[in-house]
Structure 1
Amino acid sequence: MNTLKKIGEVAELLNTTPRTLRFYEEEGLVNARRTPKGTRLYNAEDIARFRAILQLAQAGIPLAFIKTLAITREQASTGAQASREVSCVLTTLQATLRGQIDMMRQLDGELTQVMRTIQSCSQCTHPPTRQGCPQCPINQALNTSDILNLIWEQAVD
Structure 2
Amino acid sequence: MRIGEVAHRSGVSPRALRYYEEQGLLTSSRTSAGQRTYPESAVERVQLIQQFFAAGLPSRSIVQLLPCVDSGASTPEVFAMLEAERARITAAMDALAAARDALDHMIDIAHHPTPEHCPALREPAGADEGFARAG
- Please confirm whether the aligned pair reaches a TM-score higher than 0.5, indicating the same fold: yes
Structure scoring higher RCO (CA < 8 A, sep ≥ 6) equals: 2
Q: 1:38 to 1:99 in 2, by over 3 A?
A: same
The residue type equivalent to 1:24 in the other structure is Y
Distance (Å, rounded) in 2 between the aligned partners of 1:70 and 1:84: 10
Task: For structure 1, list consecutive stretches of 5 or more residues without a partner in the other structure.
Answer: 125-129, 137-157
Seq. identity, %: 30
Note the residue ranges of structure 2 that are not aligned, 5 or more in a row: 122-135
Going from structure 1 to structure 2, the CA distance change for 1:33 and 1:97 (only over 3 Å counts) comes to same
How far residue 100 of structure 1 moved from its aligned partner, in angstroms, is 0.9
Shift of 1:43: 4.5
CA positional deviation for 1:111: 0.7
RMSD: 3.6
Q: Deviations over 1:50-74 (max 9, x none)?
A: 2232343455433222212123566
Tell me the TM-score normalised to structure 2 length: 0.57
* Residue of structure 2 in register with 1:149 after alignment: none
- Matched with 1:70 is 66
Larger Rg: 2
Q: Which amino acid aligns with 1:20?
A: A
Question: What's the CA shift string for 1:87-116, capped at 9, x where partnerless?
Answer: 530342144224413531452354145235
Name the SS for the 1:83 alignment partner: coil
Moved runs in structure 1, 4+ residues, more than 6 A? none
